[in-house]
Structure 1
Amino acid sequence: MTKEKSGRVLVVDDDTDVLQAAKLFLKQHVAKVDTEKNPSSIPNLLKNYDYDLVLLDMNFTEDVSSGKEGFHWLKTILEIDPSLAVVLITAYGDVEKAVKAVKLGATDFVLKPWQNEKLLATVHSALNLTESRREVETLKTRQKQLSADIDQHYQDIIGKSPAMNKVFETIEKVAKTDANILITGENGTGKELVARALHRRSNRSDEVFISVDLGAIPENLFESELFGHTRGAFTDAKESRAGRFEVASGGTLFLDEIGNLPLQLQPKLLSAIETRKVTRVGSNKPVEVDIRLICATNEPIQEMVHNNEFRQDLLYRINTIEIHLPALRDRTVDIPLLANHFLKQYSRKYDKDIHKISDPALNKLQSYKWPGNVRELQHAVERAVIMTDHSVLQPEDFLLTSLHGEDSTMVFHDYNLEEVEKTVIRKALDKHEGNISKSADELGLTRASLYRRMEKYDL
């Protein structure tokens, strides 16, 4: 069986005989060979075509002996793509200059007239080097994402209520498929936990799970964060970087707060989802990606479509299956389970000998409306564990008044979610005297998410 040819080579030399000879020989051994007489075309060629090796003449007609042009174009190529191998073509008398070029970053050099066997061995070695460098680049980026992912706080999904059993049943049905999933529910209901559970039970469980908070990405960095960028694509792009789509390839990509994605950016996301291809900022070369897509939102997404704030075609793409997470107030039977789970967790963390939560305390927790849902309950138990002097948590250990007014529960004229959210945010800001970081932390939001809500409610 004939081995499939691989490798894309660009040969740059002002001698047409050299170009013709190189192409005739190399095309028998590699997948693609392009030739170019004018070295000034190098930047444009590298931007528009994907090469694994450049064979570069040391001297051109403007400078036939010093090698300065060769050094200049070597530097240019490595600035554009540091992973790209460059092999110099040089005359016998220029060996000293070629050695200097290797010290400056060239992979190797070949003497002309070359021996075909020597040229082929050098080309194969250089192609392998480029492949290895690019694998290392991708692995480094992936490792950074994995490390950040591992450091994230994680808890299992807990519940036995009918509403949560329905969620578990849906997870089991759809996890093994590659269907796009949309998870809906209020802030703090555990949407990311469900996304992680889907990933763990999927056929991609051995691959990466990459989580992206779309609400926390500045609009001007959206494309760079999701699709990556090339070196020099913008002012702070000091090195090429793979975007989240590329890093997640083979695994699961979780796009949180997708309802916060500005309307003008939605077509770019739709295109990436439909074509399974992304193009790095500063490049014209699309990169194929293989992802399982899971999205989440706490926004009324159907209402947003009706108000022309969210594209209907994008919604169709992301919600082949929708999983709705109930608010904690709608599954109060799960509150004792959750509270005791958090009690064990924080008793260990803070080395406190606390055995249980008293029945009156559990009654207090079950009668509270929990506008911040499971996340708010988690914070309430953590505060209680830190502050108590008891071995059994009592009602007075749960100072829900710290955020929610003088009464143990917040009083609302109705439970309109926007009014509830507005009131809770205002209380948090009052408590922390306008400190955004502390308020966001207590509310379980990012600073960017809190700023958006403050703007929405004119706070």
Structure 2
Amino acid sequence: MMSERPSLLIVEDDAGLQAQLKWAYDDFDVTVVGDKASALAAMRAIEPEVVTLDLGLPPDPDGTSEGFAVLDAIMTMRPQTKVIVASGHGARESALTAIARGAYDFYQKPVDIEELGLIVRRAFKLARIEAENRALAARVGSDHRVLGGMITAAPEMLRVARTIERVAGTNVSVMLLGASGTGKELLARGLHEASDRRAGGFVAINCAAIPENLLESELFGHEKGAFTGAVKTTEGKIEQAHGGTLFLDEVGDIPLPLQVKLLRFLQERVIERIGGRKPIAVDTRIVCATHQNLEAMIVDGRFREDLWYRLAEIVVKIPSLAERPGDPVLLARAFLQRFAAELNLPAKGFAGDALTAIDRWAWPGNVRELENRVKRAAIMADGKLVTAEDLDLTSHSDEAELPLNLKAARENADRHVIRHALARSEGNISSTARLLGISRPTLYDLLKQYDLQGEGGAAR
């Protein structure tokens, strides 16, 4: 069985000091080695949280070259390891160089066991705190994932998710209305996965991205020889979605003649391919989305009213990212974590100015803009923290107009700040209270007063 005690690796070539250090730490699982090869083998075998490292190792016991080689290797293998370096002869400059190269702390020989013990225990405590923070960071998004894997803690978006979950088990047509980049396709996929049709296919088509003369063939398919270039019979998207869900994105761009054919399918549930004469029964559920005002298009004669009623049995309006306080920070952290892992980038978090800029930005491009900015920033960042400059965000954004009534304005401001603080601290009540400069009981009272309980997931 693996030991439950913390793992401490001691890299020291002096046999007498080895024994002294080993028995000084009976509350740790101690491994003692005396050279570079053994140190790196032990690193791979036990992955210690803390290492004490003598810089004067053989074959250079009077120098530091071998010790620095071990330090560099440890930082490459396991950068979260807390390395405490020892340097003799009062070589403070070597110790400071080690700190610059990633060491946690240093001590000088001759060794004061009690003093070194304090440094070691402090290093273990910090290692555990950082491990907990990494675990929390790994859960960013998972604690706030709703329908289709969408990340949100905003009640506005949670209501959308709950609405879609309620209608998922039915066969009604759903219309998703929202600006570009708000996650309409992600919600449509979530609806499909929550429905009884999840075993069938989810087929998506962007009606605005396909030329009018090709859209009919894409939707309904064609028979061999139906037109020049039709060298084989091809199923359309509607047929491909048989038994599953068809997602029509930007449905407002479907031309009027094709709207008539789509309406016929919705009424009779049969299609005819281009060039075909045989009706084909198709069982597919339709989910649509658009950023356009279809009701205004109906008035203008650009969209059929009878088709609207067939497609919009349930209408779901999706809020913009600017209408989801706290979500930009949640999403930004999730995106950064994903891009850092996918692209093997050093960026691990956001600097304070970046978080402030993310909070204040209006996000006209919604989630898509946020994702693109975070990806670019993760690539361009020089260190482990992404800055506002990396995100290419100005220091301010347009302020939302506040109500003229002072009481309502104060309540709006309170809600806004509390929700941002909850998102910034990932739902941790103590951290949120510290950010707001109030006590925990006061924060609990405010959460209850403004009905903000549970918005950010379970309070910790």
TM class by shorter-chain length? 0.5 to 0.7
* Distance in 1 (alpha carbons) for counterparts of 2:400 and 2:214: 41
Aligned residue-pair number = 255
Mapped contact 1:259–1:310 kept (Cα < 8 A): yes
* Distance in 2 (alpha carbons) for counterparts of 1:231 and 1:412: 58
Match of 1:240 among 233, 246, 251: 233
Structure 1 residue 395 corresponds to structure 2 residue 388: yes
* Distance in 1 (alpha carbons) for counterparts of 2:271 and 2:285: 15
Match of 1:373 among 362, 366, 371: 366
> Aligned runs of 1:29-108 on 2, under 5 Å?
none
**Alpha-carbon offset, residue 332 of structure 1:** 2.7
Match of 1:287 among 268, 280, 284: 280
Letter aligned with residue 391 of structure 1: K
- 1:189-247: CA deviation from partner (whole Å, max 9, x where unpaired): 00000000000000010110000111112111122111111111000101111111111
- 1:396-434: CA deviation from partner (whole Å, max 9, x where unpaired): 11114xxxxxx55677999xxxxxxxxxxxxxxxxxxxx
**TM-score with structure 1 length normalisation?**
0.54
* Distance in 2 (alpha carbons) for counterparts of 1:203 and 1:364: 42
* Distance in 1 (alpha carbons) for counterparts of 2:337 and 2:188: 24
**Alpha-carbon offset, residue 155 of structure 1:** 7.9
Mapped contact 2:362–2:398 kept (Cα < 8 A): no
* Distance in 2 (alpha carbons) for counterparts of 1:325 and 1:309: 23
**TM-score with structure 2 length normalisation?**
0.53
* Distance in 2 (alpha carbons) for counterparts of 1:349 and 1:409: 31
**Alpha-carbon offset, residue 306 of structure 1:** 1.9
Residue in 2 aligned with 1:190?
A: 183
Give the secondary structure class of the aligned counterpart of 1:250: coil
* Distance in 2 (alpha carbons) for counterparts of 1:322 and 1:250: 23
Match of 1:261 among 254, 258, 263: 254
Structure 1 residue 315 corresponds to structure 2 residue 312: no
- 1:419-453: CA deviation from partner (whole Å, max 9, x where unpaired): xxxxxxxxxxxxxxxxxxxxxxxxxxxxxxxxxxx
Segments of structure 2 that go 5 or more residues without pairing to the other structure are 1-146, 402-460
Mapped contact 1:399–1:408 kept (Cα < 8 A): no
Give the secondary structure class of the aligned counterpart of 2:288: strand
Residue in 2 aligned with 1:223?
A: 216
Give the secondary structure class of the aligned counterpart of 2:326: helix
Mapped contact 2:148–2:193 kept (Cα < 8 A): no
* Distance in 2 (alpha carbons) for counterparts of 1:212 and 1:186: 17
Letter aligned with residue 323 of structure 1: V
1:391 to 1:155, Cα distance in 2 relative to 1, 3 A: farther
Residue in 2 aligned with 1:168?
A: 161
Structure 1 residue 337 corresponds to structure 2 residue 317: no
Letter aligned with residue 215 of structure 1: A
Match of 1:350 among 328, 343, 349: 343
**Alpha-carbon offset, residue 260 of structure 1:** 1.2
* Distance in 2 (alpha carbons) for counterparts of 1:268 and 1:231: 20
* Distance in 2 (alpha carbons) for counterparts of 1:288 and 1:171: 27
* Distance in 2 (alpha carbons) for counterparts of 1:413 and 1:260: 32
Structure 1 residue 299 corresponds to structure 2 residue 292: yes
* Distance in 1 (alpha carbons) for counterparts of 2:204 and 2:172: 17
Report the identity percentage. Answer: 43
> Aligned runs of 1:414-425 on 2, under 5 Å?
none
1:186 to 1:409, Cα distance in 2 relative to 1, 3 A: farther
Give the secondary structure class of the aligned counterpart of 2:149: coil
1:285 to 1:381, Cα distance in 2 relative to 1, 3 A: same
Mapped contact 1:369–1:409 kept (Cα < 8 A): no
> Aligned runs of 1:105-120 on 2, under 5 Å?
none
Identify the range of structure 1 (387-396 vs 338-347) with the bigger mean alpha-carbon deviation: 387-396
1:192 to 1:240, Cα distance in 2 relative to 1, 3 A: same
Segments of structure 1 that go 5 or more residues without pairing to the other structure are 1-153, 401-406, 415-459
1:379 to 1:234, Cα distance in 2 relative to 1, 3 A: same
Match of 1:177 among 167, 170, 182: 170
* Distance in 2 (alpha carbons) for counterparts of 1:247 and 1:280: 13
* Distance in 2 (alpha carbons) for counterparts of 1:155 and 1:391: 30
Runs of 4+ in 1 over 2 A off after TM superposition: 407-414
Letter aligned with residue 173 of structure 2: N
Mapped contact 1:227–1:243 kept (Cα < 8 A): yes
Residue in 2 aligned with 1:213?
A: 206
